[in-house]
Structure 1
Amino acid sequence: MALSRRTLLAALAAGGPLAGCRAMRGAEGEGAVSPTASASGAVSAESATGAGASVGASAGASATPSAASSATASAAAPTAAAAREPSRAGMVQRYGALAPTEWGLRVSGVITELPEGERATALTFDACGGPGGNGYDADLIDFLRERKVPATLFLNARWIDANPDVFEHLASDGLFEIGNHGTVHRPLSVTGRSAYGIAGTGGVGEVYDEVVGNAHKLTGLLGHPPRFFRSGTAHYDDVAARVVADLGERVVGFSVNGDGGATLPASEVRQEVASAPPGAVVIGHMNRPGGGTAPGVAAAVPGLLAAGRRFVRLSDVM
């Protein structure tokens, strides 16, 4: 599924899918992430080697669809139910000498749409966390609950720490699935590439820390490991995507930029979401209350439901 012209223009004009997080950084310093930055739950270089909690796919995970021609089918699937989490040192040894050949929003091993033939749409919402990024869009979540529209929520470790009660309510609601949005919200690179002014992870070890830090937090809180991971900015290189898959999580991007990084007005959010084709993975944000995301989604979804569109969590179809 090609990104629509409107989606591409919106992404460029707004500065990409995480422009809202970038704007908050500019105002409050969220983006000043050093290569050694950590948050509550992060795995340090010294301690990660001995980390033992499992972040493998849960035993009840459904089989990955086998349609070889689809972007989803070609996306790297988690290592088969690994009983033990690979060590940091082991991952560095396995991938440290590999040079990436791809970088960006559409990279081998990254899910950008639902399996071929799937007519539903997946709404996904990020909560970036950090200074200026810890808000909670209750209007958005209340609307989804009112209309019984399921969604996958990608939560950053810092956001979880800032919103423990909200997290508990979201995690206990079967309408929603909780995904891993990283420990300190970094683009996932093995060479330190940046996106929208956010410094990327600087090597395989830092990729490991960004993924596993929040995976451990979520596993402890949920009682099971997260199945899906989306990086800060949704940028990856192909080697980093392979690392995530080896850690037992599916790597997720998007095909429709629903809110331009929480910067679009409600009218444009409505247009983007309403025009999402069957099989789309729509990205939006749930940490910018008062913006255009909630009213735009609320304006778009009823028409799609009336037309027979089905909404799913990612785990419902993969």
Structure 2
Amino acid sequence: MTYVRRFAMVCALGALGVGAAACSGGGGSTGHPGRGEVSASASAAPSRPPTLAPGPAGLTPVFKSAPHPRGRTVALTFDADMTADEGPRAAAGEHFDNPALIATLRRLKVPATVFMTGRWAEEYPAEAKSIGSDPLFEVANHSYSHYAFTGQCYGLPTMPPARMRSDVARAFTAFRKAGVKRTVPYFRFPGGCYDKEVLRKLTPAGVTAVQWDVVSGDAFATDSAAVAQQVLDGVRPGSVVVMHCTRSAAPATEAAVRAVVPKLRERGYRFVRVSELIRSTAQH
């Protein structure tokens, strides 16, 4: 098996010390997720986040879960969503952040990957810097605007194809300006919506698209017990769980995490960041 590492995004992330990156991503419900291959240099240089090689026909690779995890590992991921045009709502008092959730993850010592929009980092620069400076976490790209990269995606505004790569690059710039240090070259499509054409357009960016295999159902949910049970029912070794870090749109998430973490630990699970799951694929 040949392992290949891509460094197309150095220009956009050089100041962040990521090693590979530039502006793009992938992940979604309509495309065919390919595992890709993990760079040999990723396993040889643990300080550099591993990425996947292009999928079939050179498309941006998509990672959903680890096919051969190291024991019972699971990655909790949190989307810090804020759409570009939601500034007035934030000014009026709507909370798109969730400090209590981050505090709980720290108190429980749970590593996690936060998929952050650039607009969120601009609205909450101190929180973005704090999350991105904590070794417990890693910050990944969730676009700048949180506009959909395909049509018909949960009512989100649609991103023009010509702006897709620059939108992703703009998010990385927002992270840098906020002082985020622990940025990884992973991208999650807003709404998780993508298709082959989008994956093809974003291939030059050099990022790995990260999806999930467990939907927590926390978006707009108010029953934390139901959210927790959905996660507990879905987790398997190597799973990636999608949750949210937005008080107004996911008010039950923090309580659900408090219920999920001890129960999964009782089952022998160890919490890891997405980068560790991807790296374990390389070392299998």
- Fold match by TM threshold 0.5: yes
Are the equivalent residues in 2 in contact too, given 1:135–1:288 (CA < 8 A)?
yes
Are the equivalent residues in 2 in contact too, given 1:72–1:113 (CA < 8 A)?
no
Q: Which residue of 2 aligns with 1:141?
A: 102
Q: Which residue of 2 aligns with 1:116?
A: 68
> Helix, strand or coil for the counterpart of 1:121?
strand
Are the equivalent residues in 2 in contact too, given 1:186–1:210 (CA < 8 A)?
no
Q: Which residue of 1 aligns with 2:170?
A: 213
Are the equivalent residues in 1 in contact too, given 2:119–2:174 (CA < 8 A)?
no
- The correspondence for 1:278, drawn from 217, 225, 237, is 237
Structure 1 alignment gaps of length 5 or more: 1-50, 62-70, 82-106
CA distance in 2, matches of 1:108, 1:247: 8
2:115 matches 1:158: no
How far the C-alpha of 1:216 sits from its partner, in A, is 2.5
Q: Residue by residue, what CA displacement relative to the aligned partner does 1:272-304 show, whole Å, maximum 9, x if unpaired? A: 222212111100111126711111111111011
How far the C-alpha of 1:147 sits from its partner, in A, is 1.1
> Helix, strand or coil for the counterpart of 1:186?
coil
How far the C-alpha of 1:176 sits from its partner, in A, is 0.5
How far the C-alpha of 1:246 sits from its partner, in A, is 2.3
> Helix, strand or coil for the counterpart of 2:76?
strand
CA distance in 1, matches of 2:121, 2:149: 20
CA distance in 2, matches of 1:122, 1:226: 15
Paired residue type of 1:310: R
2:90 matches 1:126: no
- The correspondence for 2:252, drawn from 268, 283, 292, is 292
Taking structure 1 as the reference length, the TM-score comes to 0.64
Q: How many residues end up aligned between the 2 structures?
A: 230
Structure 2 alignment gaps of length 5 or more: 1-8, 22-31, 43-58, 279-284
CA distance in 2, matches of 1:206, 1:142: 35
CA pair 225-216 structure 1, distance change in 2 beyond 3 A: farther
How far the C-alpha of 1:309 sits from its partner, in A, is 0.2
How far the C-alpha of 1:237 sits from its partner, in A, is 1.2
How far the C-alpha of 1:73 sits from its partner, in A, is 6.3
CA RMSD of the aligned region, Å? 3.2
Are the equivalent residues in 2 in contact too, given 1:262–1:285 (CA < 8 A)?
no
> Helix, strand or coil for the counterpart of 1:226?
strand
CA distance in 2, matches of 1:113, 1:202: 29
CA distance in 1, matches of 2:38, 2:187: 12
> Helix, strand or coil for the counterpart of 2:66?
coil
CA pair 245-76 structure 1, distance change in 2 beyond 3 A: farther
2:261 matches 1:301: yes
Paired residue type of 2:74: T
CA distance in 2, matches of 1:264, 1:245: 38
When structure 1 is superposed on structure 2, of 268-277 and 194-203 the one drifting more is 194-203
2:215 matches 1:263: no
2:147 matches 1:186: yes
How far the C-alpha of 1:137 sits from its partner, in A, is 1.6
How far the C-alpha of 1:232 sits from its partner, in A, is 1.1
2:198 matches 1:237: no
Task: Give every structure 1 segment of 4 or more consecutive aligned residues whose post-TM-superposition deviation is greater than 6 Å.
Answer: none
CA distance in 1, matches of 2:217, 2:259: 13
CA pair 120-245 structure 1, distance change in 2 beyond 3 A: farther
Q: Residue by residue, what CA displacement relative to the aligned partner does 1:24-78 show, whole Å, maximum 9, x if unpaired? A: xxxxxxxxxxxxxxxxxxxxxxxxxxx99334893499xxxxxxxxx98624879
CA distance in 1, matches of 2:20, 2:146: 28
Q: What is the percent sequence identity of the aligned residues?
A: 28
Are the equivalent residues in 1 in contact too, given 2:110–2:271 (CA < 8 A)?
yes
Q: Residue by residue, what CA displacement relative to the aligned partner does 1:156-201 show, whole Å, maximum 9, x if unpaired? A: 1111111111111111111010011101002224xxx230111332
